[in-house]
Chain A
Amino acid sequence: MNKQVIVSLLLCLPIAYSNAATPVAEKILANGLKVLVKEDHRSPVVVSQVWYKVGSSYEPGGITGISHMLEHMMFKGTDKHPAGEFSRIIAENGGDENAFTGQDYTAYFQTMEASRLPVSFELEADRMRHLHLLADELKKELQVVTEERRMRTDDNPQAKMGEHFNAMAYSNSPYKHPVIGWPADIANYQVEDLQAWYQRWYAPNNATVVVVGDVDTKAVFALAEQYFGGLKPSEIKPLKPQTEIEQLGVRKMTVKVPAKLPSLVMGYKVPTLTTAEHDWEAYALEVLAGVLDGGSSARLSKELVRGKQLAVSAGAGYSLITRLSNLFELEATPAEGKSVYELESALKAQITRLQLELVSAEELQRIKAQVLAGAVYERDSGFYQAMQLGMLETVGLGWQKADEYVSKINQVTAEQVRQVARTYLREDHLNVAYLEPQPINGQTQNNNKKEEK
């Protein structure tokens, strides 16, 4: 009974708050650039992000990773500003800046004292259409990206397993290849490749500008018009769908790398908010992920890490905001004396239980409470809010989905969770990778050296 009271309190509290919060304002310029503004006057700061609809899932074979490479080259100068100027000007204005590339997007951001927003707009508008791609700069930056790949993937056993796992799990979906690209592709980018990629995707009608902070919406729209309004749009040809074919049976692999601990990754093919036939299926999968791994009281921690002590760590993950269907993943590292196979059985037993039994009211209430609280906590960060809007817009769902999230999660029932477990977490659509540690000491491996020369 006590719980009922608490949950009903939660249900009204943040929603009441969200009604009072500033709404998002949208304006589309004549050249197709979409501008989103969310005022947040808690501190005299502004976050400005430019999102392009291009990422590794847009890339054909042979030039994988080129979106990420181009992201690096975007700091290498324009007609107006030579290489290094961009960062120097932002720094001089007290700004922080960076950029990131994912499967479905490439984004650039600055955070600055609110009055400096024009500085950011001027520079971003300039490099949206006037980038200088020089062979010498590419040559150096290619080395940098190769070092980045070594650091993130090649020398990290878990990351390496993840890369091999995706390559196995997807048959024809472009989610098959890594965001940073395959080594042979990285080594062979030509300036023309980057030029063509830039021409094809970097245009106002393929971008969204998101501004969150201590600004006046009308003034931001006027600034956007002033700096971005004159940019020419491009003809953006639609992407081919590359819809993943149906998987016809479980796939398993072993990844042998120098490491100390064995581990396990499992992934079921599932739809996302973009590809699900009904929205509720994606929200039900999100809740299902929370049942397994929404904190220390969730089933994986409670039953596998503590309870049976089969794992030193265990997790589940699902991203509902992606352009294409993806994987519902489970990851775990066995406890001393336990094998990856015992752990695999235990994880599968968890899935079976979700298919047979309804999740308890207590679990559903806990997840809903966390989601409601999370909606308040995330307002603490302007950057996070901008990120959410930019991502939703860029994968094609529309930023309006951000406002629906809490209520959609609230509507998910125990029956729906069981139903998506039955429909999508099927053995025939499962992929499994085992990391099998190889000795580290006294061993030298230089297979990875070949690509470098």
Chain B
Amino acid sequence: MRFYVYSLMLLLFSQSLLATAKIDHWQTPQGSRVYFVRTEGLPMADIQVIFDAGSARDGQQFGLAALTAGLLDTGAGQWNADDIAQRFESVGAVFGAGSTMDNASVSLRTLTDKALFDKALDTMQVILTQPRFDAADFQREKSRTLAGLKQQEESPGDLASIAFYKALYGDHPYAHPDSGTLATVTALTEQDLRRFYQQYYVAANAMVVIVGDLSKQQAEQTAEKLLANLPVGQKPAELPDVLMPKQASQQHIEFPSTQTHVLVGLPGISRKDPDYFSLYVGNHILGGSGLVSKLFDEVREKRGLAYSASSAFIPRLKAGPFLVSLQTRNDQTSQALQVLNQTLAAFIAKGPSEAELVAAKKNITGGFAMRFDTNKELAGYVGMIGFYGMPLEYMDNFKQRIEQVTVASITDAFKRHVDPALLQTITVGQRGK
């Protein structure tokens, strides 16, 4: 890694506010779940409303969830996009709306001084409950999305990622890119967005995360106010289970880049999988621990084949991917791929050594306090706990769960979850160069 652009680095860097962060949890009268952590010392709050309304809910209209979230702050109630932006920015608030595969979220960072806080919160409430989806805004945002999709076609990394998800997930709702495709986005209408909003942006499908310098009573009022005018509606049906690919596959996409992007993997685990901690610690050793992982050592430190080489389990509501990736000069692709596959195969066959496990545990537990030492990180953690229905004591028990992992549990979990005979391999770059 060793970035020379510091903004990128901040992503890598995860930090931990209160080692004993206490999560308060309740439901609003309409049935939305609320998660609140009070933090003191800074007069600010981070507020997020999360819906099970990610791209996995697109149906065949790929890009629908993303565009719906993107339209929210372009017109709501009596305000147009300019009014909304001015209302937030005049009080120094930062607003965002967006979606991932699993969810859509609307977020606000604001000062807690009453006059400022109230204006920001009022605006957020109207955006959540009365978005307009005006035709002119829709056409403009659609064009911007289409431009973004075209831009993906100049990025070998983006092309590789799109092909990777397709190879892993076939017809499953996780298979398509969350911003959609040129064809599916072109076909969308504002009526589609309105329908999507009406179905999924409902109280029964919403949860709220509040982290900041607010009293419990203020937090209750905040959640109440934000969601009171949403219809109750209902939670969507569970997503279908992911089917494993039937066999390994290898796909190459020709692209005029100097490097070939290599992605290898298969569907991994859901967030609630009982093997989560064994796979997490195992992957930390294999390719998840930055400058000291086995993949980093084999690919970069020993052979200088790539700048980054890493692996990850990305758990979701249903089985999210297990992904190993690197980028290398075109003519080194087969060598790099071979090193990657050998490192992975050896790890699956033998697991880590006892010493590697001890070192990984020391890193994970020793750095525990850094996982949520900012309001922002803490809000992210609490959001994960709430959205995926993890126990409220998740953070309290984290260290203990890590300590319980053994060489045998890692080896066993990898054998069951990562079958080398089913790996999907994508390469994007220039062949034979």
User: Is residue A171 within 8 Å, beta carbon to beta carbon, of the partner chain?
Assistant: no
Among A3, A370, A384, contact of B92 (Cβ-Cβ < 8 Å): A370
| A: number of interface residues (CB 8 Å) | 99
The dominant DSSP class at the B interface is mixed
Q: Are B6 and A99 in contact (CB under 8 A)?
A: no
With A43-B16, A94-B365, A336-B143 as contacts: A369 and B433 at CB distance below 8 Å: no
A374 CB contacts on chain B under 8 angstroms: 92
A387 CB contacts on chain B under 8 angstroms: 6
Q: Are A260 and B154 in contact (CB under 8 A)?
A: yes
Q: Are B307 and A144 in contact (CB under 8 A)?
A: yes
Q: Are B307 and A380 in contact (CB under 8 A)?
A: no
CB distance from A305 to the nearest CB of B (A): 8
User: Is residue B270 within 8 Å, beta carbon to beta carbon, of the partner chain?
Assistant: no
Which of B40-48, B54-62, B416-424 makes up part of the contact surface?
Answer: B40-48
Q: Are B150 and A261 in contact (CB under 8 A)?
A: yes
Q: Report how far A145 CA is from B291 CA in the complex, Å.
A: 15
Q: Report how far A71 CA is from B5 CA in the complex, Å.
A: 13
Which of A4-12, A242-250, A271-279 makes up part of the contact surface?
Answer: A4-12
B316 CB contacts on chain A under 8 angstroms: none
Q: Are B89 and A44 in contact (CB under 8 A)?
A: no
- Which parts of A233-267 form the interface with B (CB within 8 Å)? 258-261
B256 CB contacts on chain A under 8 angstroms: 258, 440, 443-445
Interface residues on B, range: 35 or more
Q: Are B151 and A260 in contact (CB under 8 A)?
A: yes
Among B292, B304, B328, contact of A139 (Cβ-Cβ < 8 Å): B304
With A10-B92, A139-B304, A154-B258 as contacts: A312 and B144 at CB distance below 8 Å: yes
Q: Are A294 and B154 in contact (CB under 8 A)?
A: no
CB distance from B44 to the nearest CB of A (A): 5
With A43-B369, A373-B93 as contacts: A446 and B19 at CB distance below 8 Å: no
Chain B, Cβ-Cβ closest to A65: B4
Q: Report how far A248 CA is from B56 CA in the complex, Å.
A: 56
B2 CB contacts on chain A under 8 angstroms: 71-72, 75, 98-100
Q: Are B43 and A13 in contact (CB under 8 A)?
A: yes
Q: Are A17 and B81 in contact (CB under 8 A)?
A: no
User: Is residue A91 within 8 Å, beta carbon to beta carbon, of the partner chain?
Assistant: yes
User: Is residue A101 within 8 Å, beta carbon to beta carbon, of the partner chain?
Assistant: yes
Q: Are B430 and A444 in contact (CB under 8 A)?
A: yes
Among A150, A305, A366, contact of B329 (Cβ-Cβ < 8 Å): A150
- Which parts of A121-149 form the interface with B (CB within 8 Å)? 139-148
User: Is residue A339 within 8 Å, beta carbon to beta carbon, of the partner chain?
Assistant: no
User: Is residue A269 within 8 Å, beta carbon to beta carbon, of the partner chain?
Assistant: no
Chain B, Cβ-Cβ closest to A146: B329
B301 CB contacts on chain A under 8 angstroms: 83-84, 140
Which of A184-192, A203-211, A295-303, A342-350 makes up part of the contact surface?
Answer: A295-303
User: Is residue B22 within 8 Å, beta carbon to beta carbon, of the partner chain?
Assistant: no
User: Is residue B257 within 8 Å, beta carbon to beta carbon, of the partner chain?
Assistant: yes
Q: Are A45 and B92 in contact (CB under 8 A)?
A: no
Q: Report how far A143 CA is from B307 CA in the complex, Å.
A: 8
A195 CB contacts on chain B under 8 angstroms: none
Which of B109-117, B173-181, B403-411 makes up part of the contact surface?
Answer: B109-117
Q: Are A88 and B292 in contact (CB under 8 A)?
A: yes
With A87-B292, A180-B4, A376-B111 as contacts: A143 and B433 at CB distance below 8 Å: no
- Binary B-proximity of A288-320 (CB < 8 A = 1, otherwise 0): 000000111110011001100100110000000
User: Is residue A379 within 8 Å, beta carbon to beta carbon, of the partner chain?
Assistant: yes
Q: Are B4 and A333 in contact (CB under 8 A)?
A: no
Interface residues of A (CB under 8 A from B): 3, 5-6, 9-10, 13-14, 17, 42-45, 68, 71-72, 75, 83-84, 87-88, 91-102, 111-113, 116, 139-148, 150-151, 154-157, 179-180, 258-261, 294-298, 301-302, 305-306, 309, 312-313, 333, 335-336, 362, 365-366, 369-370, 372-374, 376-377, 379-384, 387, 437, 440, 443-446, 448-449, 452
CB<8 Å pairs between A and B, sample of 16: A14-B43, A83-B301, A91-B289, A91-B362, A95-B363, A98-B3, A100-B6, A143-B304, A148-B307, A156-B155, A261-B154, A295-B85, A297-B88, A312-B147, A444-B430, A452-B329
